[in-house]
Chains A and B, each alone.
Chain A
Amino acid sequence: MWWEYVVYFVNATVLAAALRMATPLIFASMGGILSERSGIINIGLEGMMLTGAFMGMLVTFYTANPWVGLIGALLSGGVVGLVHAVATVRYKVDQVVSGTAINIFAGGFTVFMLRTVFDVAGTSPAVERIPTVAVPLLRRIPFIGDILGHQNPVVYLALILVVAVHLFLFHTVWGLRLRAVGEHPRAADTVGINVFRARYLAVIASGALAGLGGAYLSIAHLSRFGDGMTAGRGFIALAAMIFGKWTPFGALGASILFGFADAVQMRLQEVGIPRHFVLMLPYILTMVALAGFIGRATPPKSIGKPYEKE
């Protein structure tokens, strides 16, 4: 009896959907990790994603090539990241204030551009999208093949990115330096690490990755841009980063968990559990994790503080 329930909620179809829902969160949370590990809070992820979603669509519209659109999203996200870096590193703007400004800006800018370029409100015209692919061999494996075998290439890109960020952070000297800058910038500076450059690069990369996450929505998952289409995913990514304790694999797990909640909400509604309470879960879990009830999540030490050379 109860077994049938479990199979209804946890099966290959739902898990494949969970992975699709998780993909934009994975990109943005990897961006969040890079930025915050360098000591810069990035609550502007939402705005960076939204910008990437729009620019990805716009570049695809003009080039008819969604892969070029993806690069456009990467670059435009990077530019927004640069703005955050200049504001917080160079001009010592409060990091939360700068992120807030970026989120508000992106919300206005994307609609402004949508109306100016296409003279439409709400939704852009349809553009090419990156088609899903079937991976030979992998898709023949029972169960796992049903989840992983037939996905969008951008989904695989997200999974590769997690491994790459992990290797970078914990197995390269550059990653070690980045973490040193976020934990103890003064000491890092003393041993000759350029704190400012490290933070600039980390925050620009953060924006670029968030931009990719946004573009996944507009030119891979769907094939158009809609006003505010990121719908708070930048903040869920932030939550995933915290819930995953600022580690790539932790954030991956949290992203998939939150993606699963998103994928399963409609089915839960059918059995009488209001979906709104399911949608709340990522945020509540994050608060619980921060409070230390399920293994305390502790941010990098120097986070939020601008660095000044002596």
Chain B
Amino acid sequence: MELQQRSLTSRNLLVPIGSVVLALLVGSIFILVVGENPLYAYRVLLVESFGSINNIAGTLQRSTPLIFTGLGVAFAFRCGLFNIGAEGQLYVGGMVAAIIGVSFGNLPGLIHLPIAVFAGMLAGGLWAAIPGILKAKLGVHEVINTIMMNFVAYYLTDFLVTGPFHGGRWAPETDRVFPTAVLERILPPSRLNTGIFLAIVALVVVYIVLWKTKTGYEIRAVGLNPSAAEYGGISVARNMVLAMVISGAVASLAGVEQVLGVHGRFIQRFSPDLGFIGIAVALLGKNHPVGVFFAAVLFGALRTGGAAMDRLTDVPRELVVIIQAMIIMFVAADELIRRLVPRRRKA
């Protein structure tokens, strides 16, 4: 019994780990193309992302927004919903946090920061509620609507950041938020900030909500089998909307963290596809908070190490984008991975 349990767990880890290994192998072909040694390039990547306290801080800083987007996407997945809208949600959340941050200069930090964070979450949650409601009430596929709402969010924030909330400088960005609304830096010179604690809290809260509350039970029931859930007296529509709201609220914290912790202001189109990489994080982390954490750290390390690799070798940093795309594809093609790794014979 115990053995069976353990082998089951190792099989569960097989696909994520196999996918990462396979993606790195494909990546090494690209490294060879530019005439570098893959082993050397990957060594640089590893050392520069984990080799010193400062490097680890940099990795964690890049992991922080990915924890939020990955967790948000994973939450929706648990309810059977595909939230491709994390990118738009984080822009809306970040923008609202910035607006609160540049207003109300006379509030004490103890009040200003929580309001900015909460308002950003609320905005992201409401933004995600729209596709949730359209799915629950009219049966419209949430994938298309979340994609469409990404673009609405881009143009809306483009408008706000170049129009009403354009800062004093020429660049398309808001003014700096007041110090009372800033997520403080920890471990400078890295830009790691207290947002990482918020991310840990979010991981724990999502775990508790999903597995220790009635709401979480209902959401997962809807995700596993909506008709059975409905038959069992669970409102599918209500839980779908709720799952989208929570998903959007969590994902939007990525934007809040970038604005209040990293840049100190809203910068037009600041996100390097954080919302889309969040999909990769959720898939690789098997939609579980613990998995999401490790997947986010991996992707954060790839970003940090990739930038260093760009500086120190001839390999462009876009290699890590290619690797990330490969990981998504391979994780989803679990049949392929299982085929490549021969099943261990039963002893």
Contacts and interface: CB of A to CB of B under 8 A. Distances in A.
B318 A112 contact: yes
A151 to B, nearest CB: 27
A102 B152 CA distance: 22
A276 B332 contact: no
B84 A101 contact: no
Interface in A271-288: 274, 276-277, 279-280, 282-284, 286-287
A116 B82 contact: no
B234 interface: no
A87 interface: yes
Contacts, number: 123
A238 B273 contact: no
Given A100-B276, A104-B321, A91 B144 contact: no
A96 B329 CA distance: 11
Nearest to A242: B144
A274 B326 CA distance: 39
Given A116-B34, A283-B149, A104 B332 contact: no
A264 to B, nearest CB: 15
Given A100-B84, A105-B325, A43 B138 contact: no
Interface in A74-97: 87, 91-94, 96-97
A116 B316 contact: yes
A91 B336 contact: yes
A292 B145 CA distance: 13
B138, B144, B280: residue with the most chain A Cβ atoms closer than 10 Å: B144
Nearest to A104: B325
| Interface magnitude class on chain B | 35 or more
Contacts of A280: 151-152, 155-156
A286 B144 contact: yes
A115 B316 contact: yes
A235 B153 CA distance: 14
B151 to A, nearest CB: 5
B33 interface: yes
Contacts of B33: 116
B319 interface: yes
A283 B134 contact: no
A230 interface: no
A125 interface: no
Contacts of B316: 111-112, 115-116
11 contacts: A91-B335, A93-B333, A98-B332, A108-B318, A116-B316, A239-B148, A277-B159, A282-B151, A284-B152, A290-B140, A292-B138
Interface of A: 41, 43, 87, 91-94, 96-98, 100-105, 107-109, 111-112, 115-116, 232, 235, 238-239, 242, 274, 276-277, 279-280, 282-284, 286-287, 290-292, 299, 304
